[in-house]
Structure 1
Amino acid sequence: MAYDPFTDADIVTRYAPDKPYTTIREIALKAEISIAETDHILDYPQSTLPNTKRVGGFSVSDAKPLPQDIKSFVESSSRGVAVVSFGGGDIKVPDHIKSKMATAFQKLDLNIVWKTNWSSEKEDNILALNWIPQNDLLGHPKTKVFISHCGTNGQYEALYHGVPILCLPIFGDQFYNANRIYVKGFGLYADIRVITAEKLTQLIQQVADDSKYRTNIQKASQIFKELHKVPSKEAAYWFDHVMKYGGDYMRSSGQQIPLYQFLLIDVIAFLLAVVIVFTLVVCLILRVCCRRLKKSKLKTA
């Protein structure tokens, strides 16, 4: 579990003002159950304790009908649609990069639904809005590619609906997420700060047209749906279960081990002691042997 003293202090102050010296780490160690918004289908395999349940994709759901203006724009495309969203990170994207993105989008034969607060010259194939129904757009059969900063919610929504991703990370864990998408064959990633408009157009078209990305993520989507059904309900089930039966039977005694045991300092100290004792015994034996050999030589002399 990552520990950020500043963020943790803010959370504790807000939700537990009567315990100002408690940290999120301490709370996590005492928790009967932890719900981690991650999943081995999208993430790499990880070892977890029995009371840590990996349930990724709280925001996913089946697609709902689109608003009429967006629906008309989406269904007017003969080649398909690209959904573009950087979430709240859109404000962190400089205007010159957004201009570069718009130039790339204009060259595509796809319709672009773009969540952005940036205004530019109107293009026939670009619909720029301050808000978009992202999950519903990703669930539309016309959607061919999702262009994203690789935030957690967007990744799981794309996974749920089986839409390949072009990742353009901006900060934080988004770079890790983008590399993970590439390794698993669910899409590609690029550095939006240095990529040219021409190269961006090429990558978008590649992810949209190359069937291997769609095949990979649609297979993963089927597995995800079969395993989790509705992630939010699965998380609710575990909370209800622990409230009803308690979670002591899932807790590991290893959560409370002292730091010196966690770092294996006691084991290392024991092994060092064995080595030292063994070395001393060998030295003592050699010393005794040398003395006896020396005495026998003196007698023969």
Structure 2
Amino acid sequence: MRVHLKSFNDVMGMCGGTAAVLRPILCLLLLLVLVRGCRGNGSGGGRILVFPEDGSHWLNMEVILRELHSRGHDLTVLRSAKSWYIPQNSPVYTSITVNPAPPPPGEDLGPDFYTVLMQRSLKRRRMFPVRRFLEQQKDTAAMLMMFHGGALCMISAILDDSDLVAKLRESRFDLMLTDPAFPAGVLLAQYLGIPMVYNVRWLNAGEAHMTVAPTLPSYVPMYNSLFSDNMDLLQRTENFLRYLAILLQEHLVIQPLYVDLLRRHFPPGADLLSMQRSADVWLMRVDFVFEFPRPTMPNVVYVGGFQCHPAEPLPADLEAFMQSSVEHGVVVMSLGTLVSALPKEVTEAVAQAFAQLPHKVVWRFLGERPSSLGNNTLLLDWLPQNDLLGHPKTRAFVAHGGTNGLYEAIYHGVPVLGLPLLFDQFDNILRLQVRGAARVLEAATLTTEDFLEALRDVLENPSYRHNMQKLSGLHRDTPLSPLASATFWIEYVMRNGGASHLRTEAYSMPWYSYHSLDVAALLMALSGASLWASVSVCSRLCCRSSRRKTKLE
């Protein structure tokens, strides 16, 4: 950006006596133009194609999009016509709406589907461990087929639309930003041949680290294992079985779904797993104050908690409610975006426990009002969660265990009482429990007494808040904020046309070479040959010695 300072000085000179008044104002305007110019051209104002996932995944993707928009980038979002959360119209981006084929009967992934999943999850929690494990694998395989079936319908609708594909090619995007939990965005980026950055935590049937970096089940707990990184022999055995189950689901359930699509639209030999590993940078929604340590790769950038920010003022009526708690403070409860309501018996148990507290309670609640609700509890169908957790009156957070909410709790140093219901929520709460910053309850067998005892423990035992505030200090103690780091690496990939120098060649190696089995076979063959040669030489020498002895006799 060029600024003609000579012309600026000439104007100031022509202004005569008014220059002394105008100079500070014009200098301020000039400074604003310079700052805006620098921010808007951090990487040339690139053209970015965005392929997000819906639900809570969209909530954190939108945070990155707003930051990229503020830096002058042109954003285009591909969305389904059936999207729940991704709006068609936005001041931040231009949208392209796709109409995928309708799912088969009984496979509609609407809000009611997640309520059924929750009920099924609670039922499994009451089963014996072996049966629970088997039922969990069966349910996971069925769920993966439904989710990936939806992704397949979406990418098929795009690639089969020649006009849309031509429009996307003509746009000459510099980058694809996608959440690869399901691979529609990955396949489109490969088809268009543009660099790719992931906003990622989950991929295929497990945690994304499993695809990008070595993952040893001896100390890396698998999805839904409920283990820490310090496992005994039986736990390591179960963890290994879960590791095998994830690999089998990936190869036997997921990849076969895309075979026909790859055959129709990609060159011979195209492989889904290789495409998924080809991302230039993986923006991993993980911070190791929360996650257990594990191997990683140079192109993995950890941005866990990038959606967190200082609390903003609450609406006047909500602020008045918070202040009415006086010295006792407030408990905040939210179960996220997917599950509308807990089973009635669980809801009544929670409401009755809340009514016995001297604290005030703000509860994000959808559904029938509990009959045992106390006067101290405020029900809201939506709440400013980050701002409530950052409020000085907030004492505890009752949460289902979604990562967005837990990172906000870590950021603001608020201890957690967990009621995990679905997916990774059980593992997430466990990670905070291991660090002494949370208590976990079993929603399937919850009673008023259990809930009240656990909540009082979190509220009255100072160790929970102390441990969470320690995590908060570690989380904030970074040279660059997670959001700034995410935008830097997105712009880095655009500036350099990719980041292939950060990707390991291990991805192109056959499995037996990756695990050095061919090297082991060669060494065994050489050792065997050497042993055979030594035995042969010794045998011949012994035979010659025996012959000489016989002749001498």
Question: Common fold, TM-score beyond 0.5?
Answer: yes
Distance 1:201 1:24 in 2: 49
The reply to whether residue 277 of structure 1 matches residue 529 of structure 2 is yes
1:100 alignment partner in structure 2: 349
Count, aligned residues:
299
Of 260-269 and 187-196, deviating more is 260-269
The reply to whether residue 49 of structure 1 matches residue 301 of structure 2 is no
Look up the equivalent residue of 2:306 and give its one-letter code: F
Cα deviation for residue 239 of structure 1 reads 0.3
1:252 alignment partner in structure 2: 504
Distance 2:485 2:515 in 1: 35
2:308 alignment partner in structure 1: 60
Cα deviation for residue 132 of structure 1 reads 1.0
Distance 1:178 1:141 in 2: 23
Question: Could you say if the C-alpha distance between residues 31 and 90 of structure 1 is closer, same or farther in structure 2, counting changes exceeding 3 Å?
Answer: closer
Contact 1:116 1:128 in 2 (8 A): yes
Task: From 278, 303, 319, give the equivalent of 1:30.
Answer: 278
Cα deviation for residue 281 of structure 1 reads 4.8
Contact 1:29 1:256 in 2 (8 A): no
Distance 1:216 1:191 in 2: 22
- The CA RMSD over aligned residues, in Å, is 2.9
Question: Could you say if the C-alpha distance between residues 297 and 200 of structure 1 is closer, same or farther in structure 2, counting changes exceeding 3 Å?
Answer: farther
Cα deviation for residue 259 of structure 1 reads 2.0
The reply to whether residue 147 of structure 1 matches residue 398 of structure 2 is yes
TM-score by length of 1: 0.86
Question: Could you say if the C-alpha distance between residues 258 and 271 of structure 1 is closer, same or farther in structure 2, counting changes exceeding 3 Å?
Answer: same
Cα deviation for residue 285 of structure 1 reads 6.5
Cα deviation for residue 89 of structure 1 reads 4.0
1:77 alignment partner in structure 2: 325
Cα deviation for residue 106 of structure 1 reads 1.6
Cα deviation for residue 109 of structure 1 reads 2.0
SS at 1:84 equivalent: strand
Contact 1:9 1:23 in 2 (8 A): no
Distance 2:355 2:534 in 1: 80
Matches within 5 A, 1:1-301: 7=147, 10-11=150-151, 14=154, 17-18=158-159, 19=191, 20-21=261-262, 25-78=273-326, 79-91=328-340, 93-118=342-367, 119-121=369-371, 122-227=373-478, 230-245=481-496, 246-277=498-529, 280-281=532-533, 284=536
Distance 1:31 1:146 in 2: 36
TM-score by length of 2: 0.49
Cα deviation for residue 277 of structure 1 reads 3.3
Distance 1:149 1:166 in 2: 9
Cα deviation for residue 120 of structure 1 reads 1.7
Choose between structure 1 and 2 for higher RCO, CA contacts under 8 A separated by at least 6 residues: 1
Q: Once the two structures are superposed, what CA deviation does each residue of 1:52-85 show, in whole Å capped at 9, x if it has no partner?
A: 1011123211111112222222211131111111
Of 56-65 and 274-283, deviating more is 274-283
Distance 1:8 1:123 in 2: 43
Stretches of 4+ moved more than 6 A in 1?
289-301
Contact 2:352 2:374 in 1 (8 A): no
Distance 1:265 1:197 in 2: 56
Question: Could you say if the C-alpha distance between residues 23 and 290 of structure 1 is closer, same or farther in structure 2, counting changes exceeding 3 Å?
Answer: closer
Distance 1:228 1:202 in 2: 40
Cα deviation for residue 230 of structure 1 reads 3.8
Distance 1:232 1:219 in 2: 21
Contact 1:100 1:197 in 2 (8 A): yes
For structure 2, list consecutive stretches of 5 or more residues without a partner in the other structure: 1-140, 160-190, 192-260, 263-269
Distance 1:70 1:50 in 2: 45
